[in-house]
Structure 1
């Protein structure tokens, strides 16, 4: 029976994810509950498990992470943007230009068609880039593959960097800074729902994440509401995002894009290295540590980077400020860059 097979596969996925998350946790890797499920899901997806996390659950997980970030956000983020706005915007431009350069190279070498290379290498929200690429006539499979390979690589790289640079021998960091009282948790869930609704109505990019994050941060910082995320809910959100990303790596997608895989991997490494170099430069220009600069310039998902930043004692204000600016910049400039890169060489979707 298909339903029985699906239930068995989900049970195996849950069990394997739990085991790997525990192992990574014992090894003191930040965001082990994100990294473990993601790696297991990649293996399941490539082996043809045919499992998908329903999108509403993924959006709910993003909303929880938005509340996690909201709890960590303080008025310092605003002051950080005001004080270091020029350098933060420069960091955003470097990341966007790195993606554009990689897209041009992939197009020149005819590894991928121009517009597809542009959307795939754009350092923005992966789901948003795939949706926009499809709307603009590019191959969504190649774009999704490029985007999620990069997200996975960034999460792995950022986790390793955090593990090497940060002493996490103490108690693991969580979003809960005060007792998770029932009323506080209910208020947080209400903020999450209202934030998603408002952001969706206003057509805000990454509404499920950004809406609760901005609304929760404003209410929490003003003392109007207490944002509190219970541990089990946070763990489920971590795992949900990991599964959603990992299960996108299906065998069919892999076969359809196998000829472009070497170029995609080189492009992914190139973007990470370019952004890492700029991160080092930021440590010279600003009084911030390398981990904070690396996470701020990482061309990965905002939700994944936020999880690692909160869990690794980085400067969350600076990281989220740069990442949020980059997300909006990429979404605004994406169509322009796609057309520009598409002209670099003739291609099927140029």
Structure 2
């Protein structure tokens, strides 16, 4: 008999949790559709992210399973693979030296911003070094914890920058009127309006295979389906077919995963340093935007594509915005991927240099 109240409490708690998930899903879908109807670039991603941030800060204690997040990344990667053509690959090969220069400049700018946050924001050098690194947020957090930095602050700095990058990227895309400028696209992918069931099943199978094979790679859930799907498409073995509801769910999964990371304890822990984090993120975004303008002139490409390509962080988010705005998806993904690997390979060295300089001061 004593077990009955315990069972009732467990059922009640489970019901409350299900109601929270239902409320989050409804809010995310409503916000995403609203922003999408308003013509906001990547609205189907931005809306769920903002809704999830509200739930996280309100103390809902919800956490989206990482495999759902990875499946969303895989769908975005396969969608981007739709733009992989021989023409795009040829253009990327011809501009490899400028892409490498852009990657080096972004890494140096992030190091300077890291030093600035230590000098003017009072953030420890070891934490700032990893928190300002423009790479995959999850990878930077894991590497930071392995090197003795505070993972909570690093995670917050990374995701604050991701939110700033996404919101400013959407604003810039809207102001430049990119949705009307489809002429700048070089094979930008589009949602399949009348998907074939067999082609859709094969596309989903490629996504599942890609996220499984890329389990141990940085951003492997996005990059492996992209590479696998692109190779199959170039060989004529696959016709990529992703219906709009599936893509909307993928965008929402990525947005909710990022938004729910902003829970109340984390925000309370870093509240005093939050203005410094936001200022550092904005400074890095502005510096990268200036670099993007110069590179766009040098490479003869449009500013929006170069801006998205050099934005510091959020590979999947930038891919979504590039697809939605008909930007040069191949350029964006090539430079974002190159910088991702560059940051991972040089992250430990740059962090040690920032720590050494701040300790010397």
Normalised TM-score (structure 2): 0.91
Please tell me whether residue 279 in structure 1 is matched to residue 283 in structure 2: no
Output the aligned Cα RMSD.
1.9
The match for 1:183 is: 198
Q: For residues 1-350 of structure 1, what are the structure 2 equivalents within 5 Å?
A: 1-109=12-120, 111-168=122-179, 175-177=190-192, 179-200=194-215, 203-346=216-359
1:183-236 C-alpha deviation (Å, 9 max, x unpaired): 111211221222223333xx4211111111111111112212122112111110
Structure 1 CA distance, aligned partners of 2:327 and 2:345? 28
How big is the shift at 1:258? 1.3
CA distance in 2 between counterparts of 1:184 and 1:44 reads: 37
CA contact 1:107–1:342 (8 Å) conserved in 2: no
Once the 2 structures are TM-superposed, how far is the Cα of residue 178 of structure 1 from its aligned partner?
A: 6.3
Q: Is the 8 A contact 2:56 2:62 kept in 1?
A: yes
Displacement of 1:174 in angstroms is 6.8
Instruction: Write the distance in 1 (CA, Å) between the matches of 2:197 and 2:127.
Output: 47
Cα displacement (A) at 1:346: 3.3
The Cα offsets for residues 67-105 of structure 1, whole Å up to 9 and x where unpaired, read as 111112222342122111111111111111111111112
Structure 1 contact 80–317 (Cα < 8 Å) conserved: no
Residues 47 and 250 of structure 1 are in contact (CA less than 8 Å); yes or no, is this contact kept in structure 2? yes
Is the partner of 2:126 in helix, strand or coil? helix
Distance 1:111 1:80, change over 3 A: farther
In structure 1, C-alpha distance between the alignment counterparts of 2:351 and 2:169, rounded to whole Å: 27
Quote how far apart the aligned CAs of 1:27 are: 1.8
Larger-Rg structure = 2
Closer/same/farther in 2, CA of residues 129 and 76 from structure 1, 3 Å limit: farther
Q: Deviations over 1:299-334 (max 9, x none)?
A: 121111001001101111111111110111011111
CA distance in 1 between counterparts of 2:118 and 2:143 reads 19
Distance in 2 (alpha carbons) for counterparts of 1:329 and 1:229: 31
Larger mean CA deviation between 291-300 and 5-14 belongs to 5-14
Runs of 5+ consecutive residues of structure 2 not aligned to the other structure: 1-11, 183-187
CA distance in 1, matches of 2:57, 2:112: 29
- Cα distance in structure 2, aligned partners of 1:76 and 1:130: 37
